[in-house]
Amino acid sequence: MEQENKNSENKKDDGFAFGRLNYKLLIIGFVIIVFGFILMAGGASDDPNVFNEEIFSFRRITLAPIVVLFGFAFEIYAIMRKPEE
């Protein structure tokens, strides 16, 4: 009986699903995703009658989607990571 009380006292149940590091990783992943969407922004033309080739730049077509996908993969890692005891 005494052993059960010690075990229950040593277990710290703070009510959170993840550990502190998991939440930090989730925030970092969210920032990466937002950064990827910022990279996609822009390229609009001021005059609607003039076509702007800048919308097809390497940054918007290739780099930004890769950054966003990396951010989502990072989020999955942050969720799946086992919290420390």
Higher pLDDT among residues 74 and 18, named by residue? 74
pTM of the model: 0.76
At 35-71, the pLDDT tens digits run: 999 999 987 778 888 888 888 899 999 999 999 999 9
Q: How far apart are CA 2 and CA 6, in angstroms?
A: 6
- Report, in this order, helix, strand and coil percent for the chain, each rounded to 5: 65, 0, 35
Q: How many residues does the chain have?
A: 85
How do the domains of the chain map onto residue ranges? 16-80
User: What angle, rounded to 10 degrees, do the helices at 64-80 and 20-40 form?
Assistant: 170
